[in-house]
Amino acid sequence: MKKLNGLKKISTAVFISGNGSNLKNLIKNSLKKNSKFEIKLVISNNYKAKGLNYANKYRIKKNIINYKNITFAENKILSLLRKNKITLICLAGFMKILSKKFIKKFNGKILNIHPSLLPKYKGLNTYQRAINNNEKYSGCTVHYVSAKLDSGKIILQKKVKIYKSDTIKSLAKKILNQEHSLYSKAIKKISPSF
């Protein structure tokens, strides 16, 4: 862990596949004076991911990983993590599932952000399923990644009200907005464990 301005910062890698709005907010929050983490590496399985532009903009190392062979891909990622002394991984819209072997080998902390109030609505299409079931609330969850999809220990959640007038699009937007502050708060919450 690097010491910056007398504060220990958690050396963090963010994994993305798409827009990267969570990455953008993680970077911005990491740059705040009292933040507990610094983003040292961005990993993407998709060279077209829009979020890679934030790595460019903020001059953060980025690596695009060819996922044709998952074992090769994960070994490459593990070596990058070691090289950059990464101790925390934040999955932020990363559309690949990490193998049990990878999770074990990294031997560090891996977090994910999910657009529902887990344990409800694991997996995809969370907004649609919440609306279809007439839920009064949905939200987002930051949790540890375990071998079972979207089932690791929950760190923080934020509730969002669903109105009759909500559509998939409007609900997704409201939830994503909440994700942007929740992720950094969750890192802060677990920071004493580093």
Binding site for ligand GRF (CB under 6 A): 16, 18-22, 51, 92-93, 113-115, 140, 176, 179
Give the position of tokens 């998939």. Answer: 168
DSSP string, 134-180: T-SEEEEEEEE--SSTT-SPEEEEEEEEPPTT--HHHHHHHHHHHHH
**Residue 92 half-sphere exposure, CB side, CA atoms within 13 Å?**
32
Supply the minimum distance, in Å, between the C-beta of residue 78 and ligand GRF.
Answer: 22
Query: Of 20 and 152, which CB lies nearer to ligand GRF in the complex structure?
Result: 20
Which tokens belong to 80? 């990058």
Q: Which residues contact 163 (CB under 8 A, 6 or more apart)?
A: none
Q: Which of 9, 114, 143, 174 is catalytic?
A: 114
Question: Does 114 participate in catalysis according to the annotation?
Answer: yes
Give the 3-state DSSP-derived string for 52-87, with helices as H, strands as E and coil as C.
Answer: HHHHHHCCCEEEECCCCCHHHHHHHHHHHHHHCCCC
Query: Of 16 and 88, which CB lies nearer to ligand GRF in the complex structure?
Result: 16
Supply the minimum distance, in Å, between the C-beta of residue 54 and ligand GRF.
Answer: 10
- Find out whether 35 and 11 touch, Cβ atoms under 8 Å: no
Query: Of 87 and 116, which CB lies nearer to ligand GRF in the complex structure?
Result: 116
Supply the minimum distance, in Å, between the C-beta of residue 48 and ligand GRF.
Answer: 13
Burial class (CB in 10 A: 0-12, 13-18, 19+), 70: middle
Supply the minimum distance, in Å, between the C-beta of residue 144 and ligand GRF.
Answer: 14
Query: Of 88 and 140, which CB lies nearer to ligand GRF in the complex structure?
Result: 140
Length of the chain: 194
Q: What amino acid positions are annotated as catalytic residues?
A: 114
